[in-house]
Amino acid sequence: MKLTILGCHSATPRENAHTTSQLLEVQGDLFLIDCGEGTQMQLRKSGIKFARIKHVFISHLHGDHFYGLIGLISTFRLLGRTAPLHIYGPKGIKEIIVLQLKLAKSWTDYDLYFHELDGQESELIFENEKLTVHTLPLDHRVYTNGFLFQEKPGLRQLNRKVADSYQIPSCDFENIKAGNDYVLEDGTVVSNSELTQDPKPTKSYAFCSDTAYKEALVPLIQGVDLLYHEATFLEKHQDLAATTKHSTVIQAATIAQKAQVKQLIVGHYSSRYKDHQMFLEEAYPIFEATHLAADLKSFEI
């Protein structure tokens, strides 16, 4: 599982300061999370093949989190895309995108599927054989969700030396990795625990976009491997955080500490701060395993 920060700044894009967008890779699959202006340019800098993106998750309908989406959809069309694109976002995202395509007479040659969200509780919105994605209801000025990506347990790991010692044919390996015992020709049962080891530990990533401090998140993200939590303001501007329903870096660190996550990334910086090191200085006393988001920076989970 690998996370690439495409943009991590708030409000307006600036030179070398792109608005929110992230790319999460899970076992070879790519998931785009939010799509601020210039996202496709950041994707090009990252060397990402656009065709690999099949699912886009939009947290809320403030421009710095989705204004790059219509441009990306248009570029997909110009590149000859044929694969479907699934978009998960607040109710209204379909109307916004379809109106732009309609007025520009630029309908796509590929299918667009909109999965509009309006639930107030955490819900499963995506699942395949590798992972699940649940919403994380947030507290912002408009309807907003974060997203929790959780790997599913994989197959057990085959102990090849033991399997070969019993002369077990390779055609039975998948059945054994699925958890089954093996019966030898003489009727002897070789237990699965002898033939295999536990699967690799699953990994999880929680994306908490724009939100006021919300302790109800804690049980939903308990123990995740990596948490991204917005930290628009330093503590001296906590009044602005309250007014705009954003978080301070101390509030983000407190959520991480209460949820006992393994690592925290903070971002969505206000443009008023030139030195982001101050965010670490405020976070460390509460949650030491804190990292700064930066454009085009990657994190291995």
Domain annotation for the chain: domains and CATH numbers: 2-154+200-300 (3.60.15.10), 157-197 (no CATH)
The H or E element spanning position 243 is helix 238-244
Distance of CA 28 to the CA centre of its chain: 14
Average pLDDT score over the chain: 96
- Between 83-87, 110-114, 195-199, the lowest mean confidence (pLDDT) is in 195-199
Residue listed under structure tokens 């039975």: 172
3-class DSSP state for residue 95?
helix
What pLDDT is attached to residue 265? 98
What pLDDT is attached to residue 156? 87
Both tokens assigned to 70: 């219509």
Q: How far apart are CA 205 and CA 17, in angstroms?
A: 24
Tell me: pLDDT of 95 over 90. yes
- SS3 for 153-195, per residue? CCCCEECHHHHHHCCCCHHHHHHHHCCCCEECCCCCEECHHHH
Tell me: pLDDT of 16 over 90. no
Mean pLDDT of 179-186: 91
Q: Tell me: the pLDDT tens digits for 215-260?
A: 999 999 999 999 999 999 999 999 999 999 999 999 999 999 999 9
Q: How far apart are CA 139 and CA 213, in angstroms?
A: 8
What pLDDT is attached to residue 77? 96
The set of residues, in sequence order, having a beta carbon less than 8 Å from that of 174 and lying 6+ positions away, is 155
Please give the positions annotated as active site. 64
Pairing of strands 226-230, 263-267: parallel
HSE-CB at 210 with a 13 A cutoff on CA atoms is 29
pLDDT grade for 200, boundaries at 50, 70 and 90:
confident
